[in-house]
């Protein structure tokens, strides 16, 4: 494996589907704002909890590719909804259900909607654009990333091989443990180095290869068969 086999890329300009001269395309902005308010309405959440709507993730930076989602984050005050633990579970479930119910795209890029508390910090090196204020909160920067780094390529190869083996083995606990390990590794990388962390790139390579979806489908199938007659 070498860098040409990775889906992760560093581009020379921002995603032209969303941006023009580092300003968001007006029609894209209108659609995303309308979607944000619709998400609140469909989930029976009041507009009063909303602090902002922002774009973040790879589609606001130079590390996007054809697999990249467009990440729309609703910045909210979770205290106005209820108990913090229950709110986190509630919002996660709403995100998942909304994503399964709708197939919303801008051009060929999926739009992911997520509610984030206004006190939650963004990962290091992650750019953020305010839709409601129409300005950059954190401007994108280009970082030098060694995509031929042997450590990176070795980790991608290892985790892809392990994911494929788990899908074939169909062991529920092993899949659950793998997903949790991958989540913690990615979180650790994001906190330490941000978007360009090796752990985050490994995660995105598994996602882009559809291995995370296949793991989730395998897990669901195991559980369904376990409780069926």
Between these two residues, 121 and 86, which has the higher pLDDT value? 121
- Checking if the pLDDT of 1 tops 60, the result is no
- Checking if the pLDDT of 86 tops 70, the result is no
Q: What is the tens place of the pLDDT at every residue in 63-76?
A: 898 888 999 999 99
- Checking if the pLDDT of 137 tops 70, the result is yes
Q: Region 145-167: what's the mean pLDDT?
A: 94
User: Are β-strands 70-76 and 50-56 bridged in parallel, bridged antiparallel, or unpaired?
Assistant: antiparallel
Q: How far apart are CA 78 and CA 88, in angstroms?
A: 8
Of 39-43, 51-55, 174-178, where does mean pLDDT reach its minimum?
A: 39-43
Give percent of the chain above pLDDT 70. Answer: 97
User: Are β-strands 109-117 and 70-76 bridged in parallel, bridged antiparallel, or unpaired?
Assistant: parallel
SS (H, E, C) 142-192: CCCCCCCCHHHHHHHHHHHHHHHHHHHHCCHHHHHHHHHHHHHHHHHHHHH
Q: How far apart are CA 64 and CA 127, in angstroms?
A: 12
Between these two residues, 21 and 178, which has the higher pLDDT value? 178
Q: How far apart are CA 135 and CA 45, in angstroms?
A: 26
Going by pLDDT thresholds of 50, 70 and 90, the confidence category of residue 43 is confident
Q: What is the tens place of the pLDDT at every residue in 157-216?
A: 999 999 999 999 999 999 999 999 999 999 999 888 888 899 999 999 999 999 999 999
Q: Region 75-99: what's the mean pLDDT?
A: 77
């Amino acid at each position: 494996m070498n860098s040409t086999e990775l889906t992760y890329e560093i581009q020379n300009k921002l995603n032209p589907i969303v941006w023009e001269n580092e300003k968001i395309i007006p029609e894209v902005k209108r659609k995303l704002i309308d979607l944000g308010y619709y998400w609140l309405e469909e989930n029976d959440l009041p507009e009063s909890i909303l602090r902002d709507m922002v774009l973040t993730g790879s589609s606001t930076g130079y590390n996007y590719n054809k697999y990249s989602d467009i990440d729309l984050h609703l910045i909210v005050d979770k205290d106005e909804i209820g108990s913090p633990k229950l709110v986190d579970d509630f919002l996660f479930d709403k995100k998942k259900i909304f994503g399964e119910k709708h197939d919303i795209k801008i051009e060929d890029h999926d739009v992911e909607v997520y509610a984030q508390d206004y006190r939650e910090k963004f990962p290091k090196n992650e750019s953020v654009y305010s839709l409601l204020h129409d300005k950059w909160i954190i401007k994108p920067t280009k970082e030098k990333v060694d995509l031929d780094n042997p450590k990176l390529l070795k980790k991608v190869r290892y985790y892809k091989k392990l994911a494929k083996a788990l899908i074939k083995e169909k062991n529920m606990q092993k899949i659950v443990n793998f997903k949790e390990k991958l989540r913690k590794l990615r979180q650790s990388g994001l906190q330490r180095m941000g978007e360009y962390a090796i752990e985050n790139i490994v995660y995105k390579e598994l996602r882009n290869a559809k291995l995370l979806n296949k793991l989730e489908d395998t897990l669901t199938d195991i559980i369904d068969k376990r409780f069926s007659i």
